[in-house]
């Protein structure tokens, strides 16, 4: 602690001091993890009585009264830049399925196309891509989807029907007749309506 004004000679912010020039030959530089990465603003140094500020870049706002500066500031132009700078997290193309990528603070955000969701748009929302028959609703499952509908089997109702969808063949291509499936499996759950 100092009395009156602090008499600091050098203040290192954002990383360790450089190795001494008279140190052993081949002294290792600290790795990148030893340095601060982010935004530093409004740095104040106080001894409990006097407050001084460290101005990396002069504040150009009129009508604001600032404490006196701590001293002259020297910046490493290779690592200190004005404003807010972030890594280009979109450069590696993290978003799948032609999703658009937007950089956020040292991260990214994907704007997923219809039918996809998740951090990288890797999760498929099958119900957005597939349709279910009339009077039924779609439920996404882990590896697909299911169409859920109410049906009453009373010997008269014909709610349940199956029709093979024949894909359209491209123009000028001979249309091969579709091969109908050998079997059709239907799973249903009963609900006790008397409860």
Same domain, 75 and 3: yes
Same domain, 119 and 140: no
Domain that holds residue 151: 130-160
Q: How far from each other are the two terminal CA atoms of the chain, in whole angstroms? A: 78
Specify if 174 maps to a domain. Answer: no
Specify if 168 maps to a domain. Answer: no
Using pLDDT thresholds of 50, 70 and 90, give the confidence band for residue 102. very high
Same domain, 72 and 1: yes
Using pLDDT thresholds of 50, 70 and 90, give the confidence band for residue 91. very high
Same domain, 50 and 93: no
Specify if 68 maps to a domain. Answer: yes
Specify if 172 maps to a domain. Answer: no
Same domain, 58 and 79: yes
> What does pLDDT average to over the chain?
77
Q: Which of 128, 96, 127 is nearest to 112 (CA)?
A: 96
Mean pLDDT of 104-108: 88
pLDDT (tens digit per residue) in 40-55: 878 888 888 889 888 8
Angular region, 115: left φ>0, alpha ψ -120 to 50, beta rest: left
Tokens 């004004």 belong to 5
Same domain, 93 and 72: no
Same domain, 43 and 1: yes
Least confident of 6-15, 52-61, 137-146, 165-174: 165-174
Least confident of 48-52, 64-68, 167-171: 167-171
Report whether 178 contacts 166 (CB < 8 A): yes
Res. 2: pLDDT tops 60: no
Alpha helix positions (H), 38-142: 126-129
Say if pTM beats, i.e. exceeds, 0.75: no
Same domain, 19 and 73: yes
pLDDT (tens digit per residue) in 114-166: 999 999 999 988 888 887 888 888 888 888 888 888 776 666 766 666 666 66
Angular region, 172: left φ>0, alpha ψ -120 to 50, beta rest: left
Specify if 21 maps to a domain. Answer: yes
Pairwise CA distance, residues 83 & 76, whole Å: 15
Same domain, 73 and 23: yes
Res. 12: pLDDT tops 60: yes
Specify if 192 maps to a domain. Answer: no
Please count the structural domains in the chain. Answer: 3
pLDDT (tens digit per residue) in 19-31: 777 666 655 666 6
Alpha helix positions (H), 32-156: 126-129
Mean pLDDT of 162-179: 63
Same domain, 60 and 27: yes
Mean pLDDT of 67-89: 79
Specify if 64 maps to a domain. Answer: yes
- CATH number, domain at 110? 2.10.25.10
Q: Which residue has the higher pLDDT, 8 or 68?
A: 68
Specify if 194 maps to a domain. Answer: no
């Amino acid at each position: 602690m100092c009395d009156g004004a602090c008499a600091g000679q050098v203040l290192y912010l954002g990383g360790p001091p450089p190795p001494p020039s008279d140190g052993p030959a081949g002294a290792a530089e600290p790795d990148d993890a030893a340095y601060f990465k982010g935004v530093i603003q409004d740095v104040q140094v106080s001894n409990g009585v006097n407050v001084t500020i460290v101005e990396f870049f002069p504040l150009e706002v009129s009508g604001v009264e600032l404490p006196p500066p701590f001293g002259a500031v020297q910046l490493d132009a290779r690592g200190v830049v004005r404003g807010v700078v972030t890594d280009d997290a979109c450069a590696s193309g993290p978003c799948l399925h032609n999703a658009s990528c937007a950089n956020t603070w040292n991260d990214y955000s994907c704007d997923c196309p219809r039918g996809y969701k998740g951090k990288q748009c890797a999760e498929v929302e099958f119900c957005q891509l597939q349709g279910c028959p009339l009077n039924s609703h779609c439920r996404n499952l882990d590896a697909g989807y299911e169409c859920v509908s109410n049906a009453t089997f009373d010997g008269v109702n014909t709610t349940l029907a199956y029709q093979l969808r024949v894909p359209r063949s491209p123009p000028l291509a001979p249309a091969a007749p579709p091969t109908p499936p050998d079997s059709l499996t239907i799973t249903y759950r009963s609900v006790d309506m008397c409860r």
